[in-house]
Amino acid sequence: MHGPHDHELEHATQGGHGDHDGGGKMVNEIAMATAIIGTVGAVFAYMGGATQSNAGLFKNNAAIKKTEASNQWNDYQSKSTKQSLAELARDLAPEDKKATHQGKVARYEKEKADIKLAAEKLEAEATAWDQQSDAQIHQHHRWAQATTVLQVSIALAAIALLTRKKWLEYAMFAVAAAGLVVGGLALLHV
pLDDT tens-digit profile of 70-120?
Answer: 999 999 999 999 999 999 999 999 999 999 999 999 999 999 999 999 999
**Which phi and psi (to 5°) does residue 18 adopt?**
90, -10
What percent of the chain is predicted at pLDDT more than 90? 85
Q: How confident is the model at residue 24 (pLDDT cuts 50, 70, 90)?
A: confident
HSE-CB at 161 with a 13 A cutoff on CA atoms is: 15
pLDDT beyond 60 at 30 = yes
pLDDT beyond 90 at 13 = no
Residue predicted with more confidence, 52 or 23: 52
pTM, entire model: 0.72
pLDDT beyond 70 at 18 = no
Q: How confident is the model at residue 8 (pLDDT cuts 50, 70, 90)?
A: very low
CB 152 within 8 A of CB 175: yes
C-alpha pair distances (Å), 5 with each of 10, 24, 57: 9, 18, 64
In 3D space, the residue among 48, 11, 5, 64 whose CA is nearest the CA of residue 146 turns out to be 48
C-alpha pair distances (Å), 59 with each of 44, 51, 63, 81, 139: 22, 12, 6, 33, 15
Domain coordinates in residue numbering, the chain: 22-187
Q: How confident is the model at residue 26 (pLDDT cuts 50, 70, 90)?
A: confident
Gyration radius of the chain's alpha carbons: 34
pLDDT beyond 80 at 155 = yes
In 3D space, the residue among 14, 34, 8, 7 whose CA is nearest the CA of residue 162 turns out to be 34
